[in-house]
């Protein structure tokens, strides 16, 4: 009897620890999900954020180690509100992310060393109450691109601004390095439209080139695949505003939708894993509510809810903004 009570106490304490970051536990059910026995074997690490709603200001950042099956709320105890949209450094030792600083009371970009106990470093605090958002590491890890009040900026890892690319008519957001860090792809809201488009900027010439700019069609969240292609999120079509994952080309040639045979639900926030798999967020049936994280197979268009790796990754909240590092 003592042993049973001890086991229950340890399990309950573990659930409370996980839930301390507002990621409620849920009950597993199959709901016609792909069998967990067939799920891909991954060995890397995943970072994502979870919130109840975008305007609720309750986002937390989580890490998951596939190899060791370790789930941890890394933002627990940070004096930062609403941290989200993290991105791994190339060596996997650090992340950059956006959050609201108690000093500036505005969005700032932070850098956090995953191997230390030190608090995240605010890289943009000296800019005051400007909106500093959407940071991404360069492929060599020495630069960070982000947006500041809708203008693309590039800084070093100490927060020193290297370049400012105020060449866009409208707000630029969600920048991502590509092609050996010589190009940045990004989403831009046209001043005369309510939807976003996909553009690229050559960092050497500062020439901005439109890539995917369908009128009245939402296109956003570009994520580099290789030197010639990238994922982005866009509507199924102009009459069906459910988000889907598309594969675009840096030369602007025709893009292709990744067809999961499901036009009735949202698929967004693609995260490159390898040439076969990606991690994404989706609202498809069988999830726990809101957006859940899935692994998607590009060969057969199958998806696996990450609950089959760890039952506490997904929750009744929204799990979004995945970034993956393959060690």
pLDDT bracket for residue 260 (50, 70, 90): confident
**Where in the sequence is the domain holding 57, given as residue range(s)?**
45-325
Q: Which residue has the higher pLDDT, 57 or 191?
A: 57
pLDDT at 160: 97
pLDDT at 289: 83
pLDDT at 24: 55
Determine which helix (DSSP H) or strand (DSSP E) holds 270, and give its type and residue range: strand 267-272
pLDDT in tens, 181-231: 999 999 998 666 678 999 999 999 999 999 999 988 999 999 999 999 999
Residue 30 has pLDDT above 80, yes or no: no
pLDDT at 234: 97
Residue 28 has pLDDT above 70, yes or no: no
What is the arithmetic mean of pLDDT over 142-149?
97
What is the arithmetic mean of pLDDT over 112-139?
96
Q: Which residue has the higher pLDDT, 250 or 193?
A: 250
Q: Is residue 34 part of a domain?
A: no
- The fraction of the chain above a pLDDT of 70, given in percent, is 88
16 phi, psi to nearest 5 deg: -65, -40
Residue 11 has pLDDT above 70, yes or no: no
SS3 content of the chain, % helix, strand, coil (to 5): 10, 45, 45
What is the CATH number for 278?
Answer: 2.120.10.30
Residue 52 has pLDDT above 70, yes or no: yes
Q: Is residue 137 part of a domain?
A: yes
Q: Is residue 190 part of a domain?
A: yes
Q: Is residue 1 part of a domain?
A: no
Q: Is residue 27 part of a domain?
A: no
Cα–Cα dist 184/200, whole Å: 6
Q: Is the dihedral of CA 285, 25, 67, 79 positive or negative?
A: positive
pLDDT bracket for residue 33 (50, 70, 90): low
Q: Is residue 11 part of a domain?
A: no
Q: Which residue has the higher pLDDT, 5 or 208?
A: 208
Nearest 10 degrees: CA dihedral of 319, 323, 326, 327?
Answer: -100
Cα atoms in the Cβ-side hemisphere of radius 13 Å centred on 225 = 19
pLDDT at 27: 53
Lowest mean pLDDT: which of 5-19, 96-110, 177-191, 287-301? 5-19
Domain count across the chain: 1
Residue 7 has pLDDT above 50, yes or no: no
pLDDT bracket for residue 10 (50, 70, 90): very low
- The fraction of the chain above a pLDDT of 90, given in percent, is 78
* Neighbour order of strands in the sheet with 107-113: 81-88, 94-100, 107-113, 121-122
pLDDT in tens, 152-193: 999 999 999 999 998 777 789 999 999 999 999 999 986 666
pLDDT at 3: 33
pLDDT at 127: 93
Q: Is residue 181 part of a domain?
A: yes
pLDDT at 216: 86
Q: Is residue 33 part of a domain?
A: no
Across the chain, which distance is largest between two alpha carbons, in Å?
Answer: 73
Q: Are 257 and 251 in contact (CB under 8 A)?
A: no
Q: What is the pTM of this model?
A: 0.89
CA 288 to chain centre: 19
What is the overall mean pLDDT for the chain? Answer: 89
């Amino acid at each position: 009897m003592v042993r049973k009570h001890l086991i229950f106490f340890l399990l309950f304490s573990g659930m409370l620890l996980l839930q301390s970051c507002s990621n409620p536990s849920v009950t597993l059910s199959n709901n016609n999900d792909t069998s967990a026995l067939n799920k891909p074997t991954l060995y890397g690490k995943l970072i994502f954020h979870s919130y109840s709603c975008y305007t609720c200001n309750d986002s937390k950042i989580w890490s998951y180690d596939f190899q060791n099956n370790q789930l941890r709320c890394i933002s627990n105890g940070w004096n930062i509100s609403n941290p989200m949209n993290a991105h791994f450094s190339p060596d996997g030792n650090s992340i950059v992310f956006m959050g609201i600083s108690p000093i500036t009371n505005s969005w700032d970009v932070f850098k956090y060393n995953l191997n230390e106990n030190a608090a995240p470093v605010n890289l943009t605090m000296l800019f005051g109450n400007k909106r500093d958002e959407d940071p991404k590491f360069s492929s060599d890890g020495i630069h960070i691109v982000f947006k500041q009040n809708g203008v693309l900026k590039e800084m070093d890892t100490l927060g020193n601004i290297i370049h400012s690319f105020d060449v866009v008519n409208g707000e630029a957001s969600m920048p991502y390095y590509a092609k050996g860090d010589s190009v940045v792809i990004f989403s831009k809201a046209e001043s005369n439209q309510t939807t976003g488009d996909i553009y690229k900027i050559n960092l050497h010439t500062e020439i901005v080139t439109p890539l995917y700019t369908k009128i009245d069609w939402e296109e956003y969240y570009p994520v580099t695949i290789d030197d010639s292609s990238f994922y982005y999120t866009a509507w199924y079509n102009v009459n069906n505003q459910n988000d889907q994952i598309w594969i675009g080309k840096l030369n602007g040639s025709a893009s292709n939708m990744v067809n999961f045979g499901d036009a009735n639900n949202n698929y967004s926030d693609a995260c490159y894993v390898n040439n076969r798999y990606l991690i994404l967020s989706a609202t498809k049936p069988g999830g726990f509510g809101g957006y859940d994280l899935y692994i998607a197979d590009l060969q057969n268009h199958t998806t696996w809810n990450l609950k089959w790796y760890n039952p506490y990754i997904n929750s009744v909240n929204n799990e979004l903004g995945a970034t993956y590092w393959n060690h």
